[in-house]
Structure 1
Amino acid sequence: MPVIRSISGLRATLGDGLLPNLISNCVAAFETLLPKGEVVIGYDGRPSGIWVQKIVNGTLLACGRQVRTLGIVPTPTVQLSVEQLKAAGGISITASHNSAEWNGLKFINKDGVFFDLIENTKLEKAEKFGVFNFSKLPNFAEIINDNEAIKNHIKSILNLPIFSSASLKKIKERKLKIVVDAVNSSGSKAIPELLKALGCEVVELFCEGNGKFPHTPEPVTVNLKLLAEEVRKVNADLGIAVDPDADRLVLIDENGQPIGEERTIVLAIESVLSNIDVFKITTKVPIVVVNQSTTRAVDDVCEKYGAMLERSAVGEINVVKTMKKLKAVIGGEGSGGVILPACHYGRDSLVGTALILHHLATNKLTLSEANKKIPVYNMVKIRCEYNRDLSKLYNAVIEQFPNGKPIKGDGIKIVFPESWVQARASNTEPIVRIIAEDTSLKDAKNLVKAVMKICQKK
């Protein structure tokens, strides 16, 4: 399998793609782009992360860098630590939702956010030319093992203004029973500890922290059957699923029904906008940013609270850059990623969890009741192998829907009064993603089928 480089970093399969020399060269190149200071390292728990981390650490030490390792922690914990420690940068060793035979590196700059296109281009150039900063000094810094990162992450969340003593009391009084599926990875410790701090009873389903995935690790409905069953079995109030590096959050309601990954960001946005007075916004109205592939239910929630909605290209850094530019109060992606600048600029399942529990507790709602208050749209997502000219595909999609409004910049999106359809090349896989949303499931499927036919034409 080829190495995949994207706005989300580097991912490759073990044995034929993610080789030691590739890791070392990438890390050495990354180091040349950083200011002075220590580098923070964490990994998502998959077993291959152990040897990958040794190569990462060794390379950085050889460059004369101080290395701080956090162990098995969520990617957002690495990001927040970089920011709080004023480190030079960080690396999260993860392949996100990819299966166990994959691993990778997410590169984080001194501000605690992922490398953007310009920074990634510089990194690839530095790697290509191989001009690295290996130290000639005989002595090297020792590795700092930091075991407080998750604790500090949780503290930072609970210190946010929205979590006043009164609101925390309401959450704790609910005594919510919550089942957690962390796919035995980086959320295994972080999510349960956050929930316990909020007075919840935690049922740990897959929280071993050994990186051995009990099922396909992407937190989408088809992979969450065991979580749904456990929620029903133990009569829980809800279920929480996160991906291996715990930047995505997906929920199961008290009836054991998945509410869908798109609903996470909608509920989190509603939690913030309904408590906007506690956030120090500097804009005339609250601004929200999501990507072009996120549900239009976000539009409805923003309209309800008089907020302005902007959409960016898919990819966390694209959302973050737009949020920073517009001074957005909250943002994220429909894949279950919640970004709250008041905490830090990164998708964060812990932040999303806390915001949604706040929403449920302060409004005396069950998850299913909260979900029913959100307008219902039907979203259909498929993937298609496509190795031809993307511009020809996008132009053909525009021609297919002459009555729609085309939006370019992230593949092609065609918007209609009650629906939309998008085709875009994946940032992390060699495929084209086709997504459609409509009030009618049948019509959403028909939109996807129409684009799929274009993809399949020889």
Structure 2
Amino acid sequence: MPLLASVSGIRGVFGDGLDPAVLVRYASAFAGWVRQRAEGTPLVVVGRDGRDTGDVCARIVTATLQSCGCDVVDGGLATTPTVAMGVLKHEADGAIILSASHNPAPWNALKLLSGTSEFLSPDEGAEVLDLAEAGPESFTVPHDRVGAYRQDDLLPYHIDEILETGTKTILLHKEDNQTGDYAII
């Protein structure tokens, strides 16, 4: 299965086009892109859906971001909107969401968000794709600049924000999403 790399994300079947080297290449490119825009040490939120490969992919992406000088907030198992709220909560410079949305379970993907908590624009996405051609070694930092790591369950914050704003929510039944649990959108 070929890897699908576009301005809207990087998608593929884990072990068949999407592998650790690909995750490192694109996560390091995103780290380089974020570092170009951040004042000081960039902060990136990482979250994932419940796919079988989500945890291992998230750990590879997290370690790569740290190796490229980004501090990381690991939001763990979280929906795309919840990770987006995590960007706002932590005033992060961006986020990587590991989720292939509607694609079958063997698929996984990197979805990239900017510091405004929005998906990258076509131009921004193209910049990350261009940076990926440079290779991860272009963005790796010395040992004394490796980024910090912390975990934060983002769901309570997302729920509180919904309740505070009075926004109507839709609760998806567990068979309607990849996590096998209920999802708030």
Q: Name the TM-score class by shorter chain.
A: 0.7 to 0.9
Q: Report if aligned partners of 1:9, 1:107 keep a CA contact under 8 Å in 2.
A: yes
Q: Does 1:145 align with 2:160?
A: no
Larger of the two Rg values belongs to structure: 1
SS at match of 1:96: coil
> What is aligned with 2:63?
58
For the aligned residues, what is the CA RMSD? Answer: 2.2
> What is aligned with 1:13?
13
SS at match of 2:5: strand
Q: Does 1:157 align with 2:169?
A: no
Q: Does 1:134 align with 2:140?
A: yes
TM-score normalised by the chain length of structure 2: 0.86
Cα displacement (A) at 1:190: 4.2
In structure 2, distance between residues paired with 1:129 and 1:55: 19
SS at match of 2:15: coil
Cα displacement (A) at 1:182: 4.3
Q: Count the aligned residue pairs.
A: 177
Cα displacement (A) at 1:13: 1.1
SS at match of 1:112: coil
> What is aligned with 1:188?
181
Cα displacement (A) at 1:179: 8.0
SS at match of 1:56: helix
Q: Percent identity?
A: 32
SS at match of 1:159: helix
Q: What are the ranges of 5 or more consecutive residues in structure 1 without an aligned counterpart?
A: 164-177, 192-349, 351-458
The superposition leaves residues 187-245 of structure 1 with CA deviations (integer Å, 9 ceiling, x where unpaired) of 72544xxxxxxxxxxxxxxxxxxxxxxxxxxxxxxxxxxxxxxxxxxxxxxxxxxxxxx
In structure 2, distance between residues paired with 1:79 and 1:30: 16
One-letter code aligned to 2:20: P
Cα displacement (A) at 1:4: 1.1
Q: Which has the higher contact order (CA 8 A, sep 6+)?
A: 2
In structure 2, distance between residues paired with 1:179 and 1:111: 26
In structure 2, distance between residues paired with 1:117 and 1:45: 27
Cα displacement (A) at 1:85: 1.5
SS at match of 1:122: helix
CA distance change for structure 1 residues 182 and 132 in 2, over 3 Å: closer, same or farther? farther
> What is aligned with 1:23?
23
TM-score normalised by the chain length of structure 1: 0.36
In structure 2, distance between residues paired with 1:142 and 1:121: 28
SS at match of 2:89: helix
CA distance change for structure 1 residues 186 and 28 in 2, over 3 Å: closer, same or farther? same
One-letter code aligned to 2:143: L
